[in-house]
Amino acid sequence: MSDLVQLIKDNRVAVFTINNPPVNALSPGVPEGIAEAVEQLDKDEAIIAAVLIGGGKTFVAGADIKEFGKVTSGKVNRGEGFKPLLLRIEDCRKPIVMAIHGTAFGGGLELAMAGHYRVAASNAQVGQPEVKLGIIPGAAGTQRLPRLAGVAKAVEMCAEGNPVKASEALKYGIVDRLIEGDLLAGAVAFAREIAAMPVPKTRERNDRLGTAEQNAPIFAAARANARKKQRGMMAALAAIDAVEAATQLPFDEGCKVEQRLFTDCLFSDQSKALIHVFFGEREVAKIPDIPKETLTIPVNTAAVVGAGTMGGGIAMVFANAGIPVLLKEADQPALDRGLASIQKNYANSVKRGRFTQQFVDERLKLIQPTLSYDGFSSVDMVIEAVFEGMALKKQVFGDLDRICKPGAILASNTSTLNVDEIASATARPQSVIGTHFFSPANVMRLLEIVRGKATGKEVIATCMQLSKKLGKVGVLVGNCRGFVGNRMFHPYVRESVFLLEEGASVEAVDSALYEFGMAMGPLAVGDLAGLDVGWRIRKEYRHLEQPGIRQAFAGDRLCELGRYGQKTGAGWYKYDENRRAIPDPEVGELVRKWAAEAGIPQRQISKEEIVDRLIYALVNEGARILEEGFALRAVDIDIIYLNGYGFPSYRGGPMWYADTIGLKKVYDRICEFHDQHGELWEPAPLLKKLAEEGRRLSDFNKEQSATA
């Protein structure tokens, strides 16, 4: 018998245990091991029933995702082995009880549904998360789930991919009983109870499949929802088609439809990109020169300096994670405004059903407002979120250095300033780090963790670990202007304004990027963030601009007219009282006039050029960042763009996207832009090198601790 599946006998009940750490994925050897165990069960007349359980912390978390790449690259044949195994389990003469703890996800739930009964620990979860990997359930999940849970729940689970708690799984009939206490003992007792009963086969249970009239509105609503919430993703719609097939065709025929759709999705660029994202999110947590064993500093209490939009949001993030937090402002009115905005945010979350009132009340108690540094001497971590100006930040860090206990982490939420210079205001630069949250901090998943020259390894390890606890994806970046995300965003926005000045309309630029999959067009983002923010920064750094290099001017001119974006009711767009964007022909006329004054010829600009100009501006700057070592790996840049800038996950991030297009093609296009638009489009040397060598950005590894 395979080492991955063990069989023991508990009186007259057989217990099969899958042991394939860390998550009991269905790697080669696991299905074979289960098949052998089922053979023995059938043969052994002394055995009356069986329990299948996962060893370690979970049931089966699904197919082994690492194997997918081997299949799509043709390195292994796509085995049909798993689906026949499920039929074999279902056809077994003796009942097999699936005992679920941890997660039964993807192929894990498909395995469980082929069993005759399912019991679950009360903290277990089940789900068909395949869409998040750009695929659909491929082992009859779309066919068995509606037979157990009903069509509406099945279509929701397969199309949205979110997990379902054990109590809900019980309510929908996905599991038959919840077990308190020892799961295995409970499952064995359950197996004895039902041993003499007939063995129900999920695939033959058609009573919950509904009628065409009942199902039509369910599928229509699911498709509308998928088009809106998973815009551009093929897998969600494919999953809905597959569940619909379950309601229209016999089981075997439905399985064939599922198989065809599964294969289409598996071989798509979308699934490759999403699998890259799955592993990427885990990869970014690994810092080459900071081993997993690095000691971390317990963060049980925190303080935030500055109760503005960012500071208030950051305080909520800590409170939501159960960490008490002091929130300091300089004067009472500012503190009151900050607290009012926190309360409003929480009230909205209750209204939308994200949090209960009780949860919010508890969180609010964890946020303690203050006008002084009282209490700061005992906190484990402080996050400074005051106005973006070096002098002020240095003053705050000088204060913190005097007040905070030795070893406390002193973090700055700066988005542009030099972390080393901020650290120089203290006598303990090893404790200083950048933690760049994204607005709104309580919503956005990204946390750029900025490593200063002297930042201690345990401080970095703590912040990386803490990011997970705070529900964020922490990505370590180096200390350069704008760090990684904003440094790349700068040329992206610059190109959007250049395009306007060359003749494209505001709506054409935004809709091209929206159709590419970005959450919002670049100009609408500018209006949301406030055009005056960039304007002020540009004014501050004007002395660094090199003469003779083209500068985008239309945004600054709008600011001079008082059009700062949403907050002033007008920017690139006009806004109604509900902050809904309305195209404003006046902007087009103004830009035309300014362009004529500057002597910029006007032309028709294609959608394709708009996308290439903006996305390749990201790629070119990203390649420089990578080569200079301010990001550890290309995937780190991808994860930053997916979680902080609304880049479509099904394109894998800007660097992965460039690899998918092919670096030679990207490089050639950048050379074209270089010829047309000059110096700003100088191709990054790394891009040139990799393109010439036929390599990929994703393969590039500097083999050193890039940000140290």
Closest CA to 305 of 364, 391, 376, 408: 376
Selected binder of ligand 3H9 within 59, 82, 117, 647 (CB under 6 A): 82
Which segment (114-122, 133-141, 221-229, 641-649) binds ligand 3H9 by CB under 6 A?
A: 133-141
474 is an interface residue for ligand 3H9 by CB under 6 A: no
Selected binder of ligand 3H9 within 103, 435, 496, 620 (CB under 6 A): 103
Which of the residues 278 through 317 are near ligand 3H9 (CB under 6 A)? 279, 282
Angstrom distance (rounded) from CA 247 to CA 451: 54
Which residue, 265 or 493, is less far from ligand 3H9 as judged by CB? 265
Which residue, 105 or 489, is less far from ligand 3H9 as judged by CB? 105
Q: How far is the CB of 64 from ligand 3H9 (least distance, A)?
A: 4
219 is an interface residue for ligand 3H9 by CB under 6 A: no
Helix runs in 44-81, H state only: 65-72
Q: Residue 117 corresponds to which amino acid?
A: Y
Which residue, 51 or 255, is less far from ligand 3H9 as judged by CB? 255
Question: How many CB atoms sit inside 10 A of residue 601's CB?
Answer: 8
Closest CA to 507 of 585, 602, 594, 614: 585
Which residue, 472 or 563, is less far from ligand 3H9 as judged by CB? 472
Total binding residues for ligand 3H9 by CB under 6 A?
A: 24
Which residue, 139 or 432, is less far from ligand 3H9 as judged by CB? 139
Which segment (61-69, 206-214, 395-403, 565-573) binds ligand 3H9 by CB under 6 A?
A: 61-69
Selected binder of ligand 3H9 within 50, 52, 53, 63 (CB under 6 A): 63
Q: How far is the CB of 398 from ligand 3H9 (least distance, A)?
A: 40
Spell out the SS3 assignment of 401-450: HHHCCCCCEEEECCCCCCHHHHHCCCCCHHHEEEEEECCCCCCCCEEEEE
Question: How many CB atoms sit inside 10 A of residue 599's CB?
Answer: 6
The count of residues in the chain is 708
Q: How far is the CB of 277 from ligand 3H9 (least distance, A)?
A: 12
Contact pattern from residue 171 through residue 210 relative to ligand 3H9, giving x for each residue in contact according to CB under 6 A and a dash for the rest: ----------------------------------------
CA distance to 97, 121, 597, per residue, from 193 (Å): 11, 18, 87
Which segment (20-28, 34-42, 86-94, 635-643) binds ligand 3H9 by CB under 6 A?
A: 20-28
| Active-site residue, 110 included | yes
* Angle subtended by helix axes 251-266 and 65-72, to nearest 10: 80
Closest CA to 112 of 14, 179, 202, 172: 202
138 is an interface residue for ligand 3H9 by CB under 6 A: yes
Which residue, 230 or 479, is less far from ligand 3H9 as judged by CB? 230
Q: Is 229 exposed, middle or buried (0-12, 13-18, 19+ CB in 10 A)?
A: exposed
Q: How far is the CB of 271 from ligand 3H9 (least distance, A)?
A: 10
Selected binder of ligand 3H9 within 115, 134, 137, 254 (CB under 6 A): 137
CA distance to 464, 614, 636, per residue, from 456 (Å): 13, 37, 21
Q: How far is the CB of 292 from ligand 3H9 (least distance, A)?
A: 9
CA distance to 452, 470, 489, per residue, from 467 (Å): 18, 5, 23
Which residue, 101 or 613, is less far from ligand 3H9 as judged by CB? 101
Which residue, 287 or 450, is less far from ligand 3H9 as judged by CB? 287
126 is an interface residue for ligand 3H9 by CB under 6 A: no
Provide the 3-class DSSP secondary structure of residue 156.
helix
Which segment (137-145, 343-351, 437-445, 551-559) binds ligand 3H9 by CB under 6 A?
A: 137-145
Which residue, 106 or 254, is less far from ligand 3H9 as judged by CB? 106
CA distance to 505, 527, 682, per residue, from 530 (Å): 20, 5, 29
66 is an interface residue for ligand 3H9 by CB under 6 A: yes
Which residue, 106 or 482, is less far from ligand 3H9 as judged by CB? 106
Which segment (33-41, 132-140, 313-321, 346-354) binds ligand 3H9 by CB under 6 A?
A: 132-140
Angstrom distance (rounded) from CA 469 to CA 294: 17
469 is an interface residue for ligand 3H9 by CB under 6 A: no
271 is an interface residue for ligand 3H9 by CB under 6 A: no
77 is an interface residue for ligand 3H9 by CB under 6 A: no
Which segment (8-16, 62-70, 205-213, 500-508) binds ligand 3H9 by CB under 6 A?
A: 62-70
Selected binder of ligand 3H9 within 31, 62, 146, 306 (CB under 6 A): 62
Angstrom distance (rounded) from CA 82 to CA 187: 24
Cα end-to-end span (Å), the chain: 49
Select which of 90, 130, 448, 621 is catalytic.
130
Cis omega (within 30 of 0) for bond into 491: no
516 is an interface residue for ligand 3H9 by CB under 6 A: no
Which residue, 104 or 383, is less far from ligand 3H9 as judged by CB? 104
Which segment (129-137, 312-320, 447-455, 504-512) binds ligand 3H9 by CB under 6 A?
A: 129-137
Provide the 3-class DSSP secondary structure of residue 498.
helix
Q: How far is the CB of 705 from ligand 3H9 (least distance, A)?
A: 19
Q: How far is the CB of 68 from ligand 3H9 (least distance, A)?
A: 8
Report the phi/psi class of residue 113: left, alpha or beta, with left for phi > 0 and alpha for psi in -120 to 50: alpha
User: At 477, which helix (H) or strand (E)?
Assistant: strand 473-478
DSSP conformation letters of 327-377: EE-SSHHHHHHHHHHHHHHHHHHHHTTSS-HHHHHHHHHHEEEESS-TTGG
Say which residues have a Cβ less than 8 Å from residue 584's Cβ, sequence separation at least 6: 506, 570, 572, 573, 574
Closest CA to 184 of 59, 50, 51: 51
Closest CA to 25 of 123, 108, 145: 108
Provide the 3-class DSSP secondary structure of residue 34.
helix
134 is an interface residue for ligand 3H9 by CB under 6 A: no
Contact by Cβ (8 Å): 633, 704: no
| Active-site residue, 130 included | yes
Question: How many CB atoms sit inside 10 A of residue 407's CB?
Answer: 13
Selected binder of ligand 3H9 within 8, 22, 352, 694 (CB under 6 A): 22
Which segment (4-12, 56-64, 419-427, 605-613) binds ligand 3H9 by CB under 6 A?
A: 56-64
146 is an interface residue for ligand 3H9 by CB under 6 A: no
Q: How far is the CB of 108 from ligand 3H9 (least distance, A)?
A: 7
Selected binder of ligand 3H9 within 64, 176, 448, 659 (CB under 6 A): 64
Angstrom distance (rounded) from CA 191 to CA 34: 18
Going by the DSSP 8-state scheme, the letter that residue 571 receives in this structure is: S
Select which of 90, 110, 501, 502 is catalytic.
110
Interface with ligand 3H9 (CB under 6 A)? 22-23, 25, 61-66, 82, 103, 105-107, 110, 129-130, 133, 137-139, 141, 279, 282
Active site residues: 110, 130
